[in-house]
Copies of this chain bind each other. A is one copy, B any other.
């Protein structure tokens, strides 16, 4: 029920086509809200019907025409309404935890390999976030408004990925120690 709102936030930062939005959902906004281009196209269509966004076609030379979407007044109103409404913490679906919990029923070596792979994936993401932090927000104490909010969300990503890396390390150490006995 919140893909619409993620799109509204993104379009408010900058208007764009469905294709451009899909790209933003592969990075930046996608760091905390995943969506594929199919979802985005479908949702944009509905949002036009609701009057939350307006669409105008833009001809381009050498490239296919694109449909640029912009937040409409009704969209801004909906966003304000949603921002003020309470929301519950997301319900978790953590594959790897299920696997660890069931570890004794399968191949332990294959599972530790998988955990190590996840550890590296999270370490990579952490590096990406830290690089963005260093480059785009060198002086956090000077930030305010929109820029501050972007920085704070990025900080959430840093904390989450760091926690995951450390947890994977703890799990690997304990499982290897257990293996040795």
For the complex, count residues of A whose C-beta is within 8 A of B. 70
Which A residues are closer than 8 A to B by beta carbons? Answer: 2, 5-6, 8-9, 12, 29, 31-34, 76, 79-80, 82-84, 86-107, 110-111, 114, 117-118, 121-122, 143-146, 148-150, 152-153, 155-156, 159-160, 162-164, 166-167, 170-171, 174-175, 178, 181
**Complex CA–CA separation, A155 to B99 (angstroms):** 15
**Complex CA–CA separation, A34 to B81 (angstroms):** 28
| New contact pairs (14) apart from A9-B101, A83-B107, CB-CB < 8 Å | A5-B102, A9-B98, A32-B97, A33-B94, A80-B105, A87-B96, A87-B114, A88-B95, A89-B121, A94-B156, A104-B146, A143-B178, A156-B171, A160-B163
- Inside 8 A of A84's CB, which chain B residues have their CB? 106-107, 110-111
